[in-house]
């Protein structure tokens, strides 16, 4: 039913709470998993680019991409240990749009994403990547609201 599942992670412990759900769905359907992280250029770097410091942005993006790959590879290894074929992908863009575009162009049959549960003003200011994906994708979306971890 779901040959290829896209698991959207942002590096937070909240988003990682979707991994067990994706693992179980993958195991039940014999699906392959793509772990995805979207890198969004911080506004401070965009300002540096406007001032002619493109090499600063390129270097920072290389660093962020490397860190994202390392992070995703660690999660992929855990999934592979559980018998789930997993690969990683790191792309640039605005998270909601990038996820929808990647999924539509990559043969994805299910998108798994965490809602961070922001309320009122937080949602107004930050928006919701999960909400954007659900509204703009024609691919089924499994949205999981993670539990807030208190330390």
Take residue 57 and report the two structure tokens written for it.
Answer: 């942005």
Q: Is residue 150 part of a domain?
A: no
Domain span at residue 106?
Answer: 4-144
Quick one: which of 105, 109, 104, 67 has its CA closest to 88?
A: 67
Residue 127 confidence (pLDDT): 57
Q: Is residue 11 part of a domain?
A: yes
Quick one: which of 139, 107, 144, 151 has its CA closest to 16?
A: 144
| Per-residue tens of pLDDT for the chain, all 151 residues | 899 999 999 998 889 999 999 999 999 999 999 999 999 876 666 565 666 667 777 888 899 999 999 999 999 999 999 999 999 999 999 999 999 999 999 999 999 999 875 554 444 444 589 999 999 999 999 999 888 766 5
Take residue 6 and report the two structure tokens written for it.
Answer: 């896209």
Signed CA dihedral, 102, 108, 114, 115: sign only: positive
Q: pTM value? A: 0.87
Q: H-type helices in 6-144, by residue range? A: 13-16, 19-29, 43-50, 54-81, 95-105, 120-126, 129-136
Q: Is residue 20 part of a domain?
A: yes
Q: Is residue 151 part of a domain?
A: no
CATH code, domain with 86: 3.40.50.620
Residue 121 confidence (pLDDT): 47
């Amino acid at each position: 039913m779901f040959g290829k599942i896209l698991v959207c992670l942002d590096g937070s412990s909240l988003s990682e709470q979707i991994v067990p759900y994706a693992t179980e769905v993958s195991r039940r359907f014999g699906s392959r998993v793509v772990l995805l992280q979207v890198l969004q250029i911080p506004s401070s770097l965009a300002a540096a680019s406007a001032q002619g410091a493109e090499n600063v942005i390129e270097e920072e993006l290389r660093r962020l991409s490397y860190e994202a790959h390392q992070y995703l590879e660690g999660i992929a290894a855990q999934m592979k240990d559980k018998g789930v074929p997993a690969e990683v992908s790191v792309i640039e863009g605005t998270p909601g749009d990038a996820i929808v575009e990647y999924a539509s162009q990559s043969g994805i049959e299910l998108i798994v994403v965490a809602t961070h549960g922001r309320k009122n003003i937080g949602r107004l200011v930050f928006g919701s990547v999960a909400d954007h994906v659900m509204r703009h994708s024609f691919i089924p979306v499994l949205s999981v609201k993670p539990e807030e971890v208190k330390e």
